Structure 1
């Protein structure tokens, strides 16, 4: 009898052990989703195959689009590097977190993405470009770019393979968790992606947040690996009709080099997607692929960013979360803005959204358009600087981008109005035309409401620089003689 009881006890224990070790489905369902946020620097919305671009080669992004929520009107609230990053990490507008100028530091007191996820049991990692550590007043404008970011300045991220900023994408260096300097061999986006793969494999048994920040396709455009540059013949590329005729040849060469970076990064994206599938993590991972802002690439006769035109403010944004949305394409046409990204990720993870966050959680509106909370995205440039400083035509502005329209206002009054449905290349400025007066008033009211919601009184640039005790870099503060006449309302 005793032996029979011992045998029964042994068999029961074995069954329990077998059950506990062979029930991944239940464990997966109860576990918080992983979050991987991949973003590049200066990749504009139209430079992907799935958006209808006939030239650029992005097969992995195109496949991802077939399995993801595609935010077709994803907008950078301030389309330039440091302000975007500070807004992404805090969910706040630039005039609230105070980082509205490149190379200014995000305060330690800020409550950030890394800290929120870490406090909710997530392993956290950051790889690549950081660009929110900044320099102190009186120091050389770019003096912090080659220095390590100390542990207290890492905003909640523990795994750390980071450089403040570099635009040399070949054999660049970075600092690890211990402030030790290392080399990324070759084209840095590739070993950065390998590091991300290692983090994913190492962290797969616990929920994790990983941010992978690539430097390209930000200029210099010609520095992609030769393999990718050989894929593009400038003479064959289609140029957008809003590039001035006298700049078309230059634009073709820039496009070819820019697209080479895009295709290289697309290959890196493919490696992440493959790893998630191989590790059995894809279904329970929220994967976001996007960019911080676009690049004019000679549209409207301009290069780079900070401008309110679509090539500067609109970015690709795909969000794949198979456990909630399946592996199918879902298109969202209404805007999503930079401050909305963090609360949306928190909402999808079932985490509490702190009161410090300005943005809105759009997750419920993805499948229920009637519940989508945003009709217009606020775009701003409180202080023009560097490539778009006052001498180069930069001016303070505020703007809204809706699903259909763009409306921008300078200190002197209305500046731009486009119907992006009938005029997708923004060639016909409708501002102050009598036949569009009602539309202009409506959008001006929308902008005023956005400014009221964000406590933005739209002051001249110097007022914000004084308020935050910032100094201008180089000659950014210099104005042409016409400036003060321009800002006087007519």
Structure 2
């Protein structure tokens, strides 16, 4: 057959792709841009940083547009070569067909993505263009994402097959150039290589002109090499080194946590065999601590407490936006982490997580490797820019057989509740562990609001006949004061349960992988959560960190499985009912590995009570509230607060710290500390200290007879005053606090601490 001449229409194709990309980028920018985050309009706030942010805006625009251009170039060149491989095709029809094809593929990707992750599009369909919400219902009710996925695969496969057939028939330089170009483009897309792909687009016209000067034998070497690159990263990870050898004294340690996972949601606790079947099975191999509590129901300070074994009132990371000096205390000589201690005895340490794990890159928690998204104003700006592009979202969330790494900042998107991404990273880290012992922290965010499990899990426990704005996720708006009806509350609770089920599937996949790799029996596995969640019980509202009433906010799971050959594995009693705290994990691991602790810690080693049911002496554990996110509302806890400005007025964007969001004003920091509600609780009673402008309120609740904390029984004889004295003594000791009347005054921060 005669060789097809160099396509004269290539320039028109490239201009058509660029024009199409520019048009829809501007279209969505004009009609789908929002600066509303968690229900709060931050547009005016960002204007304050326009000077510092100008480069950030430019970078965000450049990166998002580039990702769209690279993707549409890949589709366009594939379509172009597929048509050019058909000699009888009328070249004049190519551009209209190309534009139609691009639009059709974008729609297919969008339909696939909204059935797989409808939560990502919740703001578009329920806030910006609510009249279109019925379209979202239609797709999720009547279609599976598998249908659209295989439709996309079929179309792309037909095009590739057409090109391959042409190559086999012709065996010319032109045909080999076609195949080489397609392989390069697909490789870039497969691995999300945005900038190399962008560079390739710019040099592509030059390469096209030089194609006849490339020797045909070069293609014979290049094409097999490109094909080999597709599975190479997986093969490299899979074959890298060997799995951890038997180190009886240094077993692998897995600290697995789900953000906001409530203890009472576990199946073996509530009797629901459907909700957590994998955790229920794991519980049979574990020690179960039935009355375990977090020290503070907010993610950053909670993890800081757990990993250092010290209270937030001691190390000063007391909110989600610590200043540079505050966060630098974590991992310092004064506040070492358990990761650092394990590194000292030869462990490799890693942290893996989804959006709520963005705390790990922001402080030195003692991890050699952190595979988790970052959080700062740059990331937030880029996410909002990308979210406006409806045709790009399916690409960067993987609807097109890759592309999910074009914009790595999207990994921190709170509405993208797909645990498969971080599961793959966990397996990668384990495969690369080699002969070293390792400590791996895995932190899933699917249970954190807005409760966004992927298909089909978002349908698991929800009402299929509910059609409202909470069908797929719980929108987060700290300023909202509207009352929800019973149907809406039940839908939100069902979304939460579906999210718990989704995490259980993640956990089950981890356990199965460890068993397949002969690691399960060798390992210490700790399953817990950073805090719980209120779900409209009584008057408690929804969320965490605003108050301390009820069992749901601080009570979280704690299950620990030891290696099967350890001395603890044979103990018959596996359930402990005494009160425990998240600060107990540091001394427990230190005790297990005989790591000397040079400082006094508030927590206790749980090894001493394994095989028992309770403490010999009654124990109390401490908790405090987080930072108030909003200064408006009519919830009971808002009337009990010492007021300070809302979060937008409190924090600052610090450009010199990678545009991190921090609370740097000393007065605000001390006010936040002073205003915190604090509690101590034992196995029967909870005492809460509530400072207000009119004085200090005290609450005492019977945890067994009144778990929702509806009836304040303070002082109730000697119990209330005794727990009050316990709280005051504890705070004075660990915060160096003083007392003014009944108010607790935070210790004066030393010079340079802020």
Q: Same fold (TM over 0.5)?
A: yes
Alignment of 1:309-458 (within 5 A): 309=549, 310-321=551-562, 322-324=564-566, 325-326=568-569, 330-355=574-599, 357-368=601-612, 375-381=619-625, 384-387=627-630, 392-393=638-639, 395=641, 396-411=676-691, 412-432=695-715, 436-457=716-737
Following the alignment from structure 1 to structure 2, what is the Cα–Cα distance between the partners of residues 461 and 104? 22
Following the alignment from structure 2 to structure 1, what is the Cα–Cα distance between the partners of residues 614 and 492? 41
Change (3 A) 1:380 1:41: same
Change (3 A) 1:413 1:285: same
Asked if 1:116 is matched to 2:116, the reply is no
Q: Which residue of 1 aligns with 2:236?
A: none
Structure richer in helix, relative to its length: 2
Following the alignment from structure 1 to structure 2, what is the Cα–Cα distance between the partners of residues 104 and 125? 23
Structure richer in strand, relative to its length: 1
Deviations 1:138-158 (A, max 9, x none): xxxxxxxxxxx48xx543211
Structure 1 position 377, deviation (Å): 0.5
Alignment of 1:78-117 (within 5 A): 78-105=296-323, 106-107=327-328, 109=332, 110-117=335-342
For normalisation by structure 2, the TM-score amounts to 0.49
Change (3 A) 1:368 1:45: closer
Change (3 A) 1:384 1:183: closer
Asked if 1:308 is matched to 2:548, the reply is yes
Change (3 A) 1:388 1:74: farther
Q: Which residue of 1 aligns with 2:357?
A: 130
Q: Which residue of 1 aligns with 2:249?
A: 31
Structure 1 position 378, deviation (Å): 0.7
SS in 1 for 2:253: strand
Asked if 1:58 is matched to 2:296, the reply is no
Contact 1:125 1:211 in 2 (8 A): yes
Change (3 A) 1:372 1:280: farther
Contact 1:89 1:114 in 2 (8 A): yes
Match of 1:262 among 500, 522, 533: 500
SS in 2 for 1:378: strand
Following the alignment from structure 2 to structure 1, what is the Cα–Cα distance between the partners of residues 246 and 344? 21
Greater mean deviation of Cα atoms: 356-365 or 36-45: 356-365
Higher relative contact order (CA 8 A, sep 6+): 1
Structure 1 position 353, deviation (Å): 2.8
SS in 2 for 1:203: coil
For normalisation by structure 1, the TM-score amounts to 0.74
Alignment of 1:274-285 (within 5 A): 274-285=512-523
Contact 2:587 2:604 in 1 (8 A): yes
Following the alignment from structure 1 to structure 2, what is the Cα–Cα distance between the partners of residues 446 and 356? 18
Structure 1 position 389, deviation (Å): 8.1
Deviations 1:192-241 (A, max 9, x none): 122112222332632110001112211112x211301221134999xxxx
Structure 1 position 361, deviation (Å): 1.4
Following the alignment from structure 1 to structure 2, what is the Cα–Cα distance between the partners of residues 132 and 464? 26
Deviations 1:98-126 (A, max 9, x none): 10111215215241122111111001111
RMSD: 3.5
Contact 2:737 2:747 in 1 (8 A): no
Following the alignment from structure 2 to structure 1, what is the Cα–Cα distance between the partners of residues 608 and 704? 26
Structure 1 position 64, deviation (Å): 1.2
Structure 1 position 440, deviation (Å): 1.4
Greater mean deviation of Cα atoms: 270-279 or 100-109: 100-109
Q: Which residue of 1 aligns with 2:259?
A: 41
Structure 1: which 5+ residue stretches go unaligned? 1-26, 134-148, 174-179, 238-244, 472-490
Structure 1 position 428, deviation (Å): 2.3
Aligned length: 410
